[in-house]
Structure formats: structure tokens, C-alpha cells
């Protein structure tokens, strides 16, 4: 008997192999249950972290007391609530940068700014279509927002800017200036400064580049007077506006094109002086005693130091030495208490006293903050910060879930394709049954 015959005989005499009924269906159900259990575990692990944080946030009492700047400012989480109707109460701090979550499901280019309450640690986010940032009034009640009205034109011009004022107590919002973006408030909060910037050539800015600066009365929102600030020499940083209104709202100090100028209500230059790399000290540069503060860069780039000139002539005025403020970004003075200057310097608010050895830290921002403003009336009032209340906005969570689902779908597709290829390869290599 040949070998094939012997093998065939053995195959015929072998007992039949019985397959339990429904074995394939049971295996498939078991496989699905394992995948479902793994997915449930992942969802529980992911959700428990968010849930625990949200639960802790909801349980934590909000620190409340007298108005003042919070002793600590926190990173707002991705689910921080959007400012709903604007009625959150006065704000102590407004800050923006990579640490503030972006607007979910946005198809434009909105900028996000985080607001911190003046009397409680309530955090909210406001979105603007113009430049990032919010300009807080000295009392923290009103926020100036830069908005853009492109009207479907597709190209941005200087006429597209708009300045809105948002009352954080009532939630009411109104436009206070068209064709202009907000820059700052006056030190007493009775006026605000807006600028139509020279970013694009048009009929209104033919010839020498110039910005149109307008002084707007508050709360009437009446445009009192305007001045055309020429920029004959374009230097780095000229997209920033260094402006300060005098206490009687009759003069405007400007740093531009390496010059310090003072304009009158009639738009005429009262005096100007070459200032090099030095800058106007900030929106609170005017002193009541007839001096004008400047930030002198020495060495430059390097440290910045407060010095003074005569507000009527521009001549240097001797004064006590202030401590130097290090950093590449120019500091800006936002308030005075006697001879002590309160200065925004990089990620910190510091105080500078004449004869002091070093700046004194008042408030620090979280990492990755690009810039910030505070309610200037409260720079010397720091309240104890308690557990923050971020509210809850489900849209960012939905967006994150969709991002995870997209990644999971891609991974699943790759796994399915690998499984399909392997299955076909196995089918091709199976040994055919012996001929009968």
C-alpha cells in the first residue's frame, strides 16, 4: 500500500470532530465584550479626571470679600465658562496668551481673554474678533473690546476696526467708537483713547504715515477731540501706541518715531524732543506736579528706569533714583500712589519706590501669558485668593471628545486594514483538502 493510500485510510477511519453549536457566535460576542470593556475603562479613566476636577471646583467655596486684586491668578482650564451676558461683576485682572483656552468650533480668528473677578475668584472668558486683550477701566467695571467688521469684503483695512464697551455689572454692550481700536483709559477713568492705526495705505493716510488718536469722554462716549500723530520714521515696535492723556484732558503725550511729543486739543504740537530708544512711561505718565514720566533704557536693550521731564518744555527734571526694571519688553506705568509707581513689567505687576533697591512684586501672571491689564484703582489693594470658580462650558469638552474620536477612528481603521490583510494572507496559504 502506498503512502497516500495509508493516509487516506487513516483519515477515513478517524472519528468525526464535533463543533459545539454557536461556537463562532460565542467567540465573536466574547471578543466584542472585551473591546467594549477596554473602551469603557478608558472612558472612565479619562472622565474621572475631569469629573474629579469639576466636582472639586463645584464644591469649593469662592473666596469673596472686599474689592482688590487677587493674591494669585490661576491658569483657566479648557472648560472655563464664556462670559454670558457680561454680568460677572467688576473684574480685577484681564490677561491673554497661550494659557487662555481658544474658542471651540470657531471658523474665524477670535482672540480669548480671561477675566478675574474684583471681589471673588470668578473666572470667565471673553472672545474678540480684533486684537487680543481687553482694556479694563480703573474701577474694573467696564471692558473695552477691539472688534473687526469685515462685512464680507475679504480684505482688512483701517476702517474695519470698532471699539465696544462692555459693562461687566449689567452685561450691556455698546459701540463707543467706529474705525478705531481701544488703547487705554485716562488715569481718572473719565476718558478713553482710541486709535485709527496706519496699518494699510488709504485715502485718509496719504503721504506721511499717521495715526488718528481720538479722546472719548466717558460715560457719554462723546468724541471730544482728535489729533493726527505722524510717524515720519518707521521703527520696530511702532504697531504699539504709547499715549498718555493729561489730568485735565487738554494735552496728549505721545512716543513715536524716536520722539516724545505733546499735542494740544487743537492738534498742534506744543513741544517735541528726540528721545531715542526711551519711551513714554505709560498711560499714567502725567504727574500732578507738572512732570511727565518716561522709561529710560540704559543700557539698551537691558534695564528700564523711571525718569522725568518737564511736561511744559520737555527739559529733564532731576529726581530720586528709581530701581531698574529688567526685561526686553518696555514696562508701562498704570498708576501712582504718592511717588510710588505701579508698573506692568512682563508677566508681573511691580511697584517702584524712589530710592528702592529693587522692584517689589505685587502680582504675577501664570506661565505663557502674553500680556495683562488690571483695575488700576486697586493696585495697592491685594485680597487673599481662594479656590477659583471657573464655571463650566461643555463645548470645549465636546470638541476634545470629537478630537479623540477622530484619532480613535483612524487607529481603528488601521487595525481593521491590518486584520483584513492578515486574514486574506491566511486564506491564501491554507492547505487544500486531500483529493478523494
Global confidence as pTM: 0.77
Query: Quick one: pLDDT band at residue 2, thresholds 50, 70, 90?
Result: confident
Question: What's the pLDDT band for 301 if we cut at 50, 70, 90?
Answer: confident
Per-residue pLDDT averaged across 18-27, rounded?
64
The segment with the largest mean pLDDT, out of 33-47, 165-179, 227-241, is: 165-179
Q: Which of 22-31, 59-68, 153-162, 250-259 has the highest mean pLDDT?
A: 250-259
**Calpha distance 418→416 (Å, rounded):** 5
pLDDT per position as a tens digit, 181-193? 999 999 999 999 9
Which long-range contacts (C-beta less than 8 Å, at least 24 apart) are formed by 397-405? 397/50, 397/78, 397/79, 398/104, 399/104, 399/105, 400/78, 404/46
- Percent of residues, the chain, with pLDDT higher than 70: 75
φ, ψ for residue 56, nearest 5 deg: -65, -40
Alpha carbons 263 and 212: distance in angstroms, whole number: 12
The whole-number pLDDT of residue 19 equals 59
pLDDT at 298 over 80: no
List pLDDT tens digits, range 150-179. Answer: 665 555 666 788 999 999 999 999 999 998
163 versus 104: the higher-pLDDT residue is: 163
pLDDT at 123 over 90: yes
Which residues, 6+ apart, have CB-to-CB distance to 259 below 8 Å?
272, 273, 274, 275
Average pLDDT for residues 295-322, to the nearest whole number?
A: 90
pLDDT of residue 231: 81
> What is the band of 131 on the pLDDT scale with cuts at 50, 70, 90?
confident
Amino acid at each position: 500500500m502506498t503512502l497516500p493510500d495509508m493516509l487516506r485510510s487513516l483519515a477515513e477511519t478517524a472519528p468525526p470532530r464535533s463543533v459545539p453549536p454557536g461556537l463562532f457566535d460565542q467567540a465573536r460576542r466574547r471578543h466584542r465584550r472585551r473591546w467594549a470593556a477596554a473602551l469603557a475603562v478608558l472612558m472612565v479613566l479619562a472622565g474621572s479626571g475631569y469629573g474629579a476636577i469639576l466636582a472639586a471646583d463645584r464644591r469649593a467655596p469662592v473666596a469673596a470679600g472686599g474689592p482688590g486684586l487677587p493674591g494669585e491668578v490661576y491658569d483657566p482650564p479648557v472648560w472655563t465658562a464664556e462670559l454670558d451676558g457680561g454680568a460677572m461683576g467688576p473684574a480685577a485682572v484681564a490677561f491673554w496668551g497661550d494659557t487662555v483656552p481658544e474658542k471651540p468650533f470657531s471658523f474665524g480668528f477670535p482672540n480669548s481673554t480671561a477675566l478675574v473677578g474684583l471681589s471673588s475668584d470668578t473666572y470667565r472668558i471673553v472672545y474678540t474678533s480684533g486684537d487680543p486683550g481687553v482694556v479694563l477701566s480703573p474701577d474694573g467695571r467696564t471692558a473695552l473690546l477691539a472688534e473687526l467688521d469685515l462685512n464680507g469684503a475679504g480684505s482688512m483695512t483701517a476702517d474695519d476696526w470698532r471699539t465696544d464697551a462692555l459693562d461687566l455689572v449689567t452685561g450691556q454692550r455698546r459701540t463707543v467708537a467706529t474705525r478705531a481700536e481701544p488703547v487705554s483709559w485716562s488715569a481718572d477713568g473719565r476718558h478713553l483713547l482710541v486709535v485709527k492705526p496706519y496699518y494699510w495705505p488709504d485715502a485718509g493716510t496719504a503721504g506721511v504715515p499717521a495715526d488718528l488718536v481720538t479722546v472719548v469722554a466717558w460715560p457719554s462716549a462723546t468724541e471730544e477731540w482728535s489729533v493726527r500723530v505722524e510717524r515720519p520714521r518707521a521703527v520696530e515696535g511702532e504697531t504699539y501706541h504709547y499715549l498718555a492723556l493729561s489730568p485735565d484732558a487738554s494735552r496728549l503725550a505721545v512716543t513715536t518715531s524716536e520722539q516724545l511729543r505733546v499735542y494740544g486739543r487743537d492738534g498742534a504740537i506744543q513741544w517735541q524732543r528726540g528721545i531715542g530708544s526711551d519711551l513714554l512711561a505709560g498711560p499714567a505718565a502725567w504727574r500732578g506736579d507738572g512732570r511727565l514720566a518716561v522709561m529710560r533704557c540704559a543700557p539698551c536693550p537691558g534695564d528700564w528706569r523711571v525718569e522725568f521731564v518737564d511736561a511744559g518744555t520737555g527739559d529733564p527734571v532731576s529726581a530720586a533714583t528709581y530701581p531698574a526694571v529688567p526685561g526686553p519688553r518696555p514696562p508701562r506705568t498704570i498708576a501712582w500712589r504718592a511717588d510710588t509707581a505701579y508698573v506692568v513689567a512682563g508677566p508681573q505687576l511691580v511697584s517702584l519706590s524712589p530710592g528702592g533697591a529693587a522692584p517689589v512684586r505685587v502680582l504675577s501672571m501664570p506661565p505663557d501669558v502674553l500680556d495683562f491689564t488690571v483695575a488700576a484703582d486697586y493696585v495697592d489693594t491685594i485680597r487673599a485668593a481662594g479656590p477659583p470658580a471657573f464655571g463650566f462650558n461643555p463645548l470645549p469638552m465636546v470638541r476634545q471628545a470629537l478630537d479623540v474620536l477622530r484619532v480613535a477612528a483612524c487607529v481603528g481603521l488601521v487595525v481593521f486594514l491590518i486584520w483584513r490583510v492578515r486574514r486574506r494572507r491566511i486564506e491564501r496559504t491554507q492547505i487544500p483538502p486531500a483529493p478523494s
